[in-house]
Structure 1
Amino acid sequence: MTEPTPISPPTVVALPDVASSPSDPKKPRLTPPTTSTNLPVSSSDNAEASSSQSTEISPEQGGGGSVMTPVVVAEPLPDDEVEVTEEWWDLRMTWGGKVWEIRVGGNDMLYDFRAKLETLTAVPAASQKIIGLTKGKLSAELDSTRFGALGVKKGCKFTMIGTPEAQVFKDPSLVKLPEIFDDFDMQYPSHPTGKGGGILPADDPRNKRKVQEVIQSCPITVMNEPRPGKKLLVLDLDYTIVDTKPLLEGSLPAEECARPGLHEFLESVYEHYDIVVWSQTHWRWLESKLVELGMIGGTRNYRICFVSDRTTMFPIFSKRGGKIMKHEVKPLAYFWAKFPEWSQKNTIHIDDLARNFALNPGEGLKIRAFKSAGTLEGLQDRELLKLGPYVGLIRGWMTRLIS
């Protein structure tokens, strides 16, 4: 299989869209550069998906033990419930013999309201029984409903019944390591498509507020200071550079879980990029595994700037085949707010899941997942070997864009 040859018109300099991969036999689609600098969420232009589903899952196409998760194009949520001038509800909740004051925005989802209650009381959302807030039952199927559309009266008083999670007995034998939910993927166009338009995740006021909450509540612990003039490479961990399942289970040594060519790839890009690792794994697992992999504290010719775990991610809602879907996202604006020298003009986010790019589709580069560590097929994986030169080409495009 021949290497893809990116072809850019003389007046167009941009990143490939999320459908591109260094091992994809098709040439990457190119998009016009964006001039938007609005934070917290990038709405940069990106090529619209050309098909509704990807079926490129053959290892022969991917170079060894890599697979491409089937992808469908996400459908934007309807915008008729979005409040341009947002209203707020000040509520009073009775629980555990106490009265709690809660403030909710009209653009918040019912899911966000339940999450507020869980933060205050430690009662899991699935265990909350809410009485007196609305006439009907607030089932999980309504989680994507805007709070302003629920018909709740301003100043409403209601009661919640539920037991905090810490007080619920759990059989220790049933407690498992965290699992990464990745059996589907969704690709987001940069413009609403089809009838009815809708609102994209990057433009949703609720999602913008969530990004600001992450920025304000989650400090970044820098391990190696950003270097002047370097671009930003955000690298997913789970199934992108590591086969996560055997790594977390301990069924294989860490070095055997690493994708072939991992350290060579990181050394090759470090000359021009500061490297940030973003994982859906919680920090208590992430730090020790990165040390075991030799990515932190090793003697390699690269340094990790900092890492981010799933506490800096949050769920968004969209549609898939007409049904409401919920998944977490990685907002790059979290990094850009902390380090203004980085922006949509000099950032690449590499991941095996396009849905993680939902708020920043123009900065995402999807590659094939690595799920075959410890096998001959896994040893033959060549994705990272091809990714290094490919990222070098993108750096050239970004340099021309900035200049």
Structure 2
Amino acid sequence: MEQLGYFDDITADDLKAMAAATGPKVTIYLPTAPPQHQPQDTATRVKSLVNEARRKLVNAGVPESDAKDMMASFDAIATDAPFLRQQGESLALFAAKGLNLVYRLGVPVAEYTHVAEHFVLRPISETLTKSHSFYILGVSQNKVRLLDATKDSVVQLDLQDIVPESFEEVTNTDDRQATLQNRSVGSNGTMFHGHGGIADSQDAEVSRYFHKVGDSLGDLLGRARSQPMVLAGVAENVTALKASSSYPVVAEDFISGNPDSVSNRELQKSGWEVVRPHFAANDDAAFGRFADVSGTGLGETQPDVIREAAVAGRIDTLFINPSLNASDGTGDVNTAILHTKLNSGDIVIISDGRVENVAALMRY
């Protein structure tokens, strides 16, 4: 199964654990995208960054034995060959007393080690923008592929025996042979019984196949999802899938051509170009709602005020300027990111200058 990389979800339970952590907190970021970084190189740099974090903990007043205990579980990463080979764009390590979290992520980061009273989340805030996820369904008669993608990542999903994997899986071979019963007409060839013969029968089976694929998508993914789906295939197949799809959000544009020889990475890049205007429009609409209430208390740009609102669960949408470095500012923005997600708020990346640092649209 070809995929763009290996990616780990930052779950709601992980966010709760991060928010509940007390005392000094460690954040380590490490770029791991090939070909610049090979497994052995990554192992060496993990060791170096973990040792650096230990020194910073001790300098922050943590007893040396406690600092060693806090970072002990990360030492195993440097000797875990399969894990080191299976990387995405970056590696993120978070530690606090009684807490160690490791993530392989799809966003590029700069090498970074930080010890403070907060975790540093700004550099990976884009991984928390679940509103920018999309599906890609690649379909031909030979193969069905379903991908879960973002701008930076793609993973192939298991069809779980719910969505057919190919035309042959839907077609009953015995029924097909019975339909195509033929009789000999001497040495001139074969004549098939029935009006239209083999062509009509084949067309009916192909139509049934695409109907089955489209109709089963809702059973696999849910029939009330808002994550858009991009179809990849020849035009007539895409038309048939759109007509029968039980999944509610199928993009109008599609990736044209037979997808069988196209890699997951190539489909992800093409799919992002299809959905990018959709996401941009949604982000613009959200920022428009913020602009309408800016200065009224429902639209805020002060980081300390935003942090307090996030902790109280008041933030509907948090807008982040990704151009600032991880070390810019205090822990206000990082705390706001954590608690916005913890309280089911949205995060939107605004990189065109409309947001100087951070902004927030309040629920109340």
- The two structures have a TM-score, normalised by structure 1, of 0.20
Relative contact order: is structure 1 or structure 2 higher (C-alpha 8 Å, sep ≥ 6)? 1
- The two structures have a TM-score, normalised by structure 2, of 0.21
Greater Rg by CA: 2
